[in-house]
Amino acid sequence: KLLTEKGAAKKMLRFLLLVNKQGQTRLSQYYSHVPVEERVTTEADIVRKCLARNEELCSFMEYKNYKVVYRKYASLYFIIAIDNSDNELSVLEFIHTAVETFDRYFESVCELDIMFNVNKAHMILDEMVVNGNIVETNRSRVLAPVAVMDKAATIK
C-alpha cells in the first residue's frame, strides 16, 4: 500500500470521465474533492486536448499536476487522470477491462447505454474502484451485485 507524506493512502485514480466525440461528458467520477468550478474548467481543457490529438499519438499526456490516460472505444472516450508517478499502461489495461465489463452487462455498450443507465454504469465502476484504488477486475465478480439488483427490481 502506497502512502503519502502525511501517512494517508495514496490514490491511483484522481477522476474518470466518459465523453462522446462531441466533447459532452456522459459520466464523471471523482475520487478526491475538487470544487465544481475547477471540475468544469479541468474537464473542458482535458476533453478539448484529448479530442484534438491525432490518433497516431500515444494515449498519455501531462496536464497540470496529473497524467491523463485516455482511450477511444467506438463513440466514447474513456479518460482517467492519475498521479505523475503512476503507471500509464496499467491504467490503459483498466480502461480495457472496464469496457469489456460494460460490454458484458450492456451487450455491446454504446453511448446511449451509458446515458440511459448512468446509475448502473456508476455501480459497475464502484465495484471496480474504491476511493481511487482499483480493487476488482474480474468481470463476473464486478457484475454479480448488479445482477442481484436487477433481479430484485424484477421481483414483485
Chain-centroid distance of CA 78 in Å reads 6
Per-residue model confidence (pLDDT) at position 7: 46
How many other C-beta atoms can be found within 10 angstroms of the C-beta atom of residue 39?
16
Residues 60-72: tens digit of each pLDDT: 999 998 999 999 9
Q: Which three cell numbers stand for residue 52?
A: 484534438
pLDDT 10s digits, 102-112: 999 999 889 99
pLDDT at residue 155, as a whole number: 81
Predicted confidence (pLDDT) per residue in 44-62, tens digit: 999 999 999 988 899 999 9
Q: Enumerate residues 6+ apart whose C-beta is below 8 A from 102.
A: 109, 113, 114, 121, 124
What average pLDDT does range 1-17 have in this prediction? 66
Quick one: average pLDDT of 18-27? 94
Looking at residue 3, its pLDDT comes to: 44
pLDDT for 12: 87
pTM: 0.89
pLDDT digits (tens, 9 = 90+) for 113-148: 999 999 999 999 999 999 999 999 999 999 999 999
Max CA pair span of the chain: 52
Residues 6+ apart with CB under 8 A from 14: 30, 31, 32, 66, 80, 81, 82, 83, 132
Res 40: pLDDT: 94
**What's the pLDDT band for 11 if we cut at 50, 70, 90?**
low
Angle of CA points 128, 23, 122, to nearest 5°: 20
